[in-house]
Amino acid sequence: MKIVVCIGSSCHLKGSRQVVERLRELIEKYSVGDKVELGGTFCIGECQKGVCVTVDDVFHSVTPENVDGFFAEEVIAKLK
């Protein structure tokens, strides 16, 4: 599974670093580092909806506040 977080200017100002840092912690916590690849990109083209994240090319709008819920629903649930 490939998670790509937009680290472009707009998403950066909306907290993409915090999202990336939390995702790293969650990947570690759930020991899914071998199944999940985390990457960055500079623009997904949906700047209004940032922080933009794609999971296997499916778009999601994430915030630093809801990243835990996003990870549970879109990552952990789908890995099972």
Partner 1 sequence: MSERLGQERHIPTMRKFDTKVQHLKYKVLREVARHTWDGTLLEHIIDIPKQIFPGPRPTMRCCIYKERAVAAERVKMAMGGDADNPNVIEVINIACDECPVGGYEVTNACRGCLAHRCEDVCKKGALSFDENHVAHIDKSKCVECGACAKVCPFTAIVHRTRPCQNACKVKAISMNEDRSAKIDNDKCTACGACVYQCPFGAITDKSYITSVINLLKSEKNRVYAVVAPSISSQFAYAKLGQVITGLKNLGFHTVVEAALGADMVALKESRELVEKGFLTSSCCPAFVKYIESAYPKMKEHVSHNLSPMAEISRYIKESDPGAKAVFIGPCTAKKAEALKENVSQYVDAVLTFEELQALFDSRGMDITTLEEGVLDNASYYGRIFARSGGLTDAVAQALKEQGLDGEFTVIPEVCDGIDECRIALLKASRGVLKANFIEGMACTGGCINGAGCLTHGEKNKAEVDKYGREAYEKDITSAVSVLK
The binding site for partner 1 (CB under 8 A) comprises 5, 7-10, 12-13, 16-17, 20-21, 39-43
How far does CA 35 lie from the centroid of its chain?
Answer: 15
65 versus 78: smaller Cβ distance to partner 1: 65
Residue type at 48 in one-letter notation: Q
Closest CB 49 distance from partner 1, rounded Å: 15
| Shortest separation between residue 61's beta carbon and partner 1, angstroms | 17
Q: Which is nearer to partner 1, 21 or 78 (CB)?
A: 21
Q: Which two tokens stand for residue 15?
A: 């907290």
The DSSP H or E segment spanning 52 is: strand 52-55
Q: How far is CA 48 from CA 25, 45, 53, 75, in A?
A: 26, 9, 13, 23
Q: Which is nearer to partner 1, 45 or 80 (CB)?
A: 45
